[in-house]
Chain A
Amino acid sequence: MSLRKFISNKTIAALAVILTAFASTSAFAQAAGAAAETVAKPVDMGPVYKTVIFYTMAFLLLCLFIAIIGKALKVYELTREAQDKPKGINWNAVNGTLFALFLIVGLYGVYWEYTVHGNMILPEAASEHGKKIDQMFNITLIITTIVFVATHIILFAFAYFYKNTGKRKAYYYPHNNALERIWTIVPALVLTVLVLMGFLTWRSIFYKIEDPNNKPISIEITSSQFSWAIRYPGADGIVGVKNYKLINGVNQLGIDFKDKNTLDDQTADEMVIPVNKPVRLILTSKDVLHSFYMPHFRIQLNTVPGMTSYFEFTPTITTEEMKAKTNDPKFAYLFLCAKICGEGHYKMQKEVRVVSQAEYEAWVKKQGTYLTDDLRKEFGLPVTAAPAPAAAKPADSVAKDTSAVKTNQLALKK
C-alpha cells in the first residue's frame, strides 16, 4: 500500500520536473522570440533580457526546489506512518517556535527601525505650534509603543506557550466581566487624555488671538499645475484682491489692479520670512486641489479652487541655525505639494528661508512688483517710465496668449 503511494509520489515528482523543464524552456523560447523582435531596434537590450530570463529561471528553480522538499517531506511522513511511528514533523511545534522567533527578531527589528530610520526623520519643529505638535507626537508615540510591544509579546508568547501538544485540554473561559470592563475603561481613559490634549493643541493652532503690536505678515500662495506663486503684500501690508476671471498670459494670478492694495504687491521666487515673527499664509489654488505642505514647520493645508484658507504660524529657527543643528551645510527649508494634482505632482517645490528681521527687510526691498507696464495699460493705469528690460520679457507671452485673452473676455462678459 505504502509502496504504491510512494510510486505515485515519484511519478508526480517526475512529472513536476518535466513540467518545470518544459515551462522554463518555453519561457526561454518566448524570451528569445521577444529578443528577436527587438533586434530591429538600435538599442541593445540583450543584457537586460538576460536578467529577466535569469530571474524567471531562478524563480522556477526555487519552485522546483520547494516542490522537491515538499515531496521529500511527504515521503518521510508516509514512511513514518507505514512504520507506525509517531508523525514525522510536529508542525504545531514548528509554527509555535517560529512565532517565538518572530517575536524576538521582530522586536529587534522594531528597535533597529526606531533607532536607525527613526534618526532619519524630520528635525525638531521650526515653529511655535510645531513644538506642541511634536510634544503631542512624542506622548502618543510612547503610549502606542508600549501597547504595541506589550500586546505583541502577549500575542506571540501565547501562540508559543499554548500550542497544542495533545496532552492538555483548553481552559473553558467564555467571559469575565471584570476583565472586559478593565480593557474597555482603560483604553477609553487613555484616549480621553489624548483627545483632550489633541483638542487643545488643535484649538491653539487654528484659533489665534491677534496681537495688535505684533501683526502677522500676510503672504499669499497660489498653487497651479505644477508650480507655486508667492505674493508678498508690499509696503501696505495687505495682499490685494484678485479675481480668477482676470487671469491671462500677463496677469498670471488674476490680480485686480483696480484695488489700490494690489499696486505694491510683490513677487518672490522663494519664501523668505523673518524669525519669531508671525506669518499668515493665504492659500489659494488656480486649477485643481493641491496641498501646501511645509513639513519642517508642521504645516499643511489644502489649496482649494474657489475657497481661500488661512494658516498662521511663527517660525522659531532660522535656516542658519537649523544647518548647525542638523549638522548639514546644505539644509534648506521647503514647501511642497502633498495632494495628488497631476503628472508633475512629484516636482512642485519652493525653497523657504528663515532669516533675521534685518535680512528680511533688506531682501523684501529687492523684490519686484506684480504690476508691470503691460498690466498698467490693461487696467488703464498711468504708465511710469519703467526700465526697458523688465517689460521686454512678459511682452512675448502676451503675443502667445492673445487667444487666451479673448476667451477670458468671453468669460468676463458672462
Chain B
Amino acid sequence: MSTISLHDTHNHDSHDDHGHHKETFLTKYVFSQDHKMIAKQFLITGIIMAVIAMGLSILFRLQLAWPDTNFPILETFLGTWAEGGRIKPDFYLALVTIHGTIMVFFVLTAGLSGTFSNLLIPLQIGARDMASPFLNMLSYWFFFGACVVMMSSFFIQTGPASAGWTVYPPLSALPTAIKGSALGMTLWLISMIMFVASSLMGGINYVSTVLNMRTKGMDLWKMPLTIWAFFLTAILGILSFPVLVAGVVLLIFDRSFGTSFYLSDIVMGTQVLPNEGGSPILWQHLFWFLGHPEVYIVIMPALGISSEVISVNSRKPIFGYHAMIYSLIGITVLSFIVWGHHMFVTGMNPLLGGVFMITTLIIAVPSAVKTFNYLATLWRGNIKFTPAMLFAIGLVSFFISGGLTGIFLGNASLDINLHDTYFVVAHFHLVMGSAAIFGMLAGVYHWYPKMFGRMMSSKLGYLHFWLTFISAYLVFFPLHFLGLDGVPRRYYAFTEFEFMQKWLTVNVFVTWAAIIGALAQVAFLWNFFYNIFRGKKAPQNPWESNTLEWTTPVEHLHGNWPGEIPTVYRWPYDYSKPGSEADFIPQTVPFSQTMSSNMPHDFEGNTESERIQREWEAKNVPSPEKLD
C-alpha cells in the first residue's frame, strides 16, 4: 500500500485520556476548531440564508403573479420599497439579485460544500480533524461575515445591489444607472471578497486533508464518491474563485477610483463619462470563468452525496465506481473551458461561439454517464425509501430534466432566441437549483444522526419530500414555455407587453406552487430544529452503511475515534455481496473475515492473497455463489 497514513504520527492514545483543553461555550460552539462543529455552523447558517433567499423569491413571485394588487402587509415590512403595498421596480431587481447571490454562493456553495466537506472528509477518510483546524474556523467566520455584510445592504437607504447576481457592469458600476449600484453594490463586492477568502481557506483545507491524512489502507481508489466529489469541487474552487476576486477588485477600482477596466463610451442621460478604453465584456469573461465552474461546484457535491445515498439505500454497490470518478474528473476539467456559452450573444467573435458550443456539449457526456450509472444502481436493488433516498432520487430526476434543457442552451444557434429568457431560468433552477438543494437535503437527512446523534422524523421527511418535489416541478416546468414564447427574465411585470398577457394566469399558478413549496419547508425546519433537542437517540450505524464515519461513536468526541483510527481494507460499496450473511460489509472488515464472499478482483492482483483464497475455497468446496 502506497498510502501515506499520518494517523500514527500523533499519539492519539493519550488524546482523550488527557481531557486537556477544557472547552468553554465559546470554544465549543462559537470559535470551534472541530470540523464537526464547523460543519454544523455552516449548515445552520446555510439553512438560515436559504430561508431568507426563499422568502425573497416569494416576494418577487407575488409581484409577478399579481402586478396590480396591493399587499399592505408588504409596506409594513418593507416601508418605502413597497409603497402602497406594491414592490417597486428597483427593489424587485434587488430581490432577484440577492435571491440569486444568496442561493448560489451562500447556500449551495458554502452551505453545501462547507457542511458536508467539513463533516465527511475527516470522518470518511479516517482523520482526526482537518489539516488546519484554525484555517477551517477562519473559513467559517469569513463566510459568516460575508453573510452579515450582504444582509446589511437591506438596511441602507439605497437598498441592496440590484444589477442581477452576475452584476454586469456598467449597470453595476454606475450609481446613476440604478439605485442599488450605490452603497449596496459596494457591500456586495466586499461580501463577495470575504466569501471567496472563506471558500479558498476551506478548499485548501479539503484538498490537503484528502491528500495527506487518509487512514491506513485508504488509497484514492477506496475513497467514497462523496470524498471524490468534495475533493474535485475544492480543486475547482481553488482554481476559479481567485479569478472572481480579480474581477471584483477591478470593478471596485472602476467604481471608486475612476479607472476604466469595464467602462468606455458611456453617456448617462446627457452626461458624458470620461471613461475610455475598457470593455464590459471583460467582466463577463472574468465572471463566467468562475461562474461556470461555480455551477459544478454547486452540483458536484450534490452528485457525490446522492451516489453514496443511492448506493446505501439500494443496498447495492454504486454502478461503475471508476466511471463515476472519471466522469467527475472529466466534468472538473471541461468546466474550465465552457464559460463562453454564457456569452454567445454578447457580440463576441462568432468563432468563439462555435468553439464554446463544442466544449459545452461535450460536457454533457460525463453527465449522461453519471445519470445512467444511477439508474443502473437502482436496477434490481433492494430500495429502502428513507427520506434521504427520496431526495436522492428527486435529484436524479431534476438532473435529467434540467440537464436536457442544457442541450438547447449550449447550442449557440438555439441560444440566440433563448438567451436571457425564462427558459434559462427554468433550466438552471432545475439542474442547479433544485437538484443541488435536493442533494443537500439528502445529505442532511442521511447524516443528521452523525451530526446531532439523533434521528429526524422520517414521516415528516416524506411529507417534506413529496410537497417539495411536486411543487418544484410545478414551478419550473411551465416556465420553459414562457421562455419559448420570448418572455425575458428579470421583468418586473408582464403588463407592458400585449403578448405576455396570456402568461399572467400561469404566473399566478406558479406563484401558488412556489408558496406551497416554501410552506413545505416548515416541515423540514421543524423536523430539523426540534429533533436536535428532542429526537430519538440515533444508533451507531442507522443506515447500515459501509463508510468509516459510522464506526465513530454516536457521542461526538474531539479526534473522532477513541483509540486508534480504524484501518481500511476494501472499497466502500460492498453491499449485498454474494456469499456474505449481512447485506453490507464495512470498509474496516478485512478480507480474511469474509472468505465466503471474496471475489478474485478484490485482491487487485495480489498473488499471495489469491493463493490463500484458493486454498480456502478448496477446503470449503461447494461454493455455488462463486459465479462471477
Chain A residues within 8 Å of B, Cβ to Cβ? 34, 38, 43, 45, 48-49, 52, 59, 63, 66, 70, 73, 91-92, 94-96, 98-99, 102, 106, 109-110, 113, 117-118, 120-122, 130, 132-133, 136-137, 140-141, 143-144, 147-148, 151-152, 154-156, 158-159, 162-164, 168-176, 179-180, 183-184, 187-188, 191, 194-195, 198-199, 201-203, 205-207, 224-225, 244-245, 247-249, 254, 283, 286-289, 291, 293, 295-296, 298-302, 304-307, 309, 330, 332, 334, 336-347, 349, 401, 404-405, 407-408, 411, 414
Residues of A within 8 A of B148 (CB): none
Contact A163 B385 (CB under 8 A): yes
Residues of B within 8 A of A293 (CB): 420, 486, 488
Query: With the chains together, A188 CA to B361 CA distance in Å?
Result: 9
Query: With the chains together, A364 CA to B455 CA distance in Å?
Result: 75
A122 and B368 contact, Cβ closer than 8 Å, known pairs A144-B404, A154-B375, A302-B345: no
Contact A164 B354 (CB under 8 A): no
Residues of A within 8 A of B265 (CB): 244, 305-306
Residues of A within 8 A of B229 (CB): none
Say what secondary structure dominates the interface of chain A: helix
Residues of B within 8 A of A156 (CB): 397
> Besides the contacts A106-B473, A191-B362, A293-B486, what 5 more A-B pairs have beta carbons closer than 8 Å?
A202-B357, A291-B419, A295-B486, A307-B279, A341-B171
Residues of B within 8 A of A38 (CB): 72, 76
Contact B346 A96 (CB under 8 A): no
Please give me the residue from chain A that is nearest to B322 by CB atom. A175
Contact A346 B354 (CB under 8 A): no
Residues of A within 8 A of B491 (CB): 345-346
Contact A346 B347 (CB under 8 A): no
Please give me the residue from chain B that is nearest to A162 by CB atom. B381
Contact A121 B421 (CB under 8 A): no
Contact B316 A173 (CB under 8 A): yes
Contact A49 B497 (CB under 8 A): no
Stretch of B230-238, B558-566, B574-582 on the interface side: B574-582
Residues of A within 8 A of B373 (CB): 180
B271 interface residue (CB < 8 Å to A): yes
Contact A120 B93 (CB under 8 A): no
Per-residue interface assignment for chain B, residues 500 to 534, with 1 indicating a CB less than 8 Å from any chain A CB and 0 otherwise = 00110010000000000001001100000000000
Contact B347 A345 (CB under 8 A): no
Q: Which 10 A-B pairs have the closest CB atoms?
A: A295-B486, A309-B347, A306-B264, A206-B350, A404-B270, A117-B481, A95-B385, A171-B380, A306-B265, A170-B382
Contact B384 A194 (CB under 8 A): no
A346 and B493 contact, Cβ closer than 8 Å, known pairs A155-B378, A306-B278: yes
Give chain B nearest CB distance to A413 CB in angstroms.
Answer: 11
Partner of A201, one of B164, B413, B486, B489: B413
- Ordered by A's residue number, 8 sampled pairs between the chains whose C-beta atoms are within 8 Å are A48-B85, A70-B457, A113-B481, A130-B417, A154-B375, A162-B378, A172-B575, A304-B280
Contact B502 A175 (CB under 8 A): no
Residues of A within 8 A of B268 (CB): 225, 287
Query: With the chains together, A184 CA to B489 CA distance in Å?
Result: 35
Residues of B within 8 A of A337 (CB): 488
B220 interface residue (CB < 8 Å to A): no
A172 and B417 contact, Cβ closer than 8 Å, known pairs A63-B522, A289-B280, A309-B347: no
Contact A299 B416 (CB under 8 A): yes
Per-residue interface assignment for chain B, residues 152 to 194, with 1 indicating a CB less than 8 Å from any chain A CB and 0 otherwise = 0000000000011000101100100111000000000000000
B583 interface residue (CB < 8 Å to A): yes
Contact A52 B573 (CB under 8 A): no
Contact A298 B358 (CB under 8 A): no
Query: With the chains together, A144 CA to B480 CA distance in Å?
Result: 14
Please give me the residue from chain A that is nearest to B368 by CB atom. A187
Partner of A302, one of B267, B347, B353, B583: B347
Contact A245 B319 (CB under 8 A): no
Residues of B within 8 A of A414 (CB): 274
Contact B170 A305 (CB under 8 A): yes
Contact B419 A338 (CB under 8 A): yes
Residues of A within 8 A of B522 (CB): 63
Please give me the residue from chain B that is nearest to A295 by CB atom. B486
Residues of B within 8 A of A147 (CB): 400, 404
Interface residues in B208-245 by Cβ distance below 8 A to A read none
Contact B404 A291 (CB under 8 A): no
Contact B393 A183 (CB under 8 A): no
A298 and B353 contact, Cβ closer than 8 Å, known pairs A180-B320, A307-B281: no
Contact A122 B486 (CB under 8 A): yes
Contact B272 A158 (CB under 8 A): no
B405 interface residue (CB < 8 Å to A): yes
A184 and B382 contact, Cβ closer than 8 Å, known pairs A140-B408, A225-B177: no
Contact B369 A286 (CB under 8 A): no
Contact B407 A99 (CB under 8 A): no
Contact A49 B72 (CB under 8 A): yes
Stretch of B44-52, B432-440, B459-467 on the interface side: B459-467
Give chain A nearest CB distance to B431 CB in angstroms.
Answer: 13
Query: With the chains together, A137 CA to B483 CA distance in Å?
Result: 13
Partner of B492, one of A52, A172, A286, A346: A346
Interface centre among B163, B362, B385, B408 (most CB of A within 10 A): B385
Query: With the chains together, A76 CA to B420 CA distance in Å?
Result: 53
Contact B473 A187 (CB under 8 A): no
Query: With the chains together, A195 CA to B338 CA distance in Å?
Result: 14
B73 interface residue (CB < 8 Å to A): yes
Query: With the chains together, A109 CA to B401 CA distance in Å?
Result: 14
B38 interface residue (CB < 8 Å to A): no
Residues of A within 8 A of B177 (CB): 225, 287-288, 342
Please give me the residue from chain B that is nearest to A348 by CB atom. B496
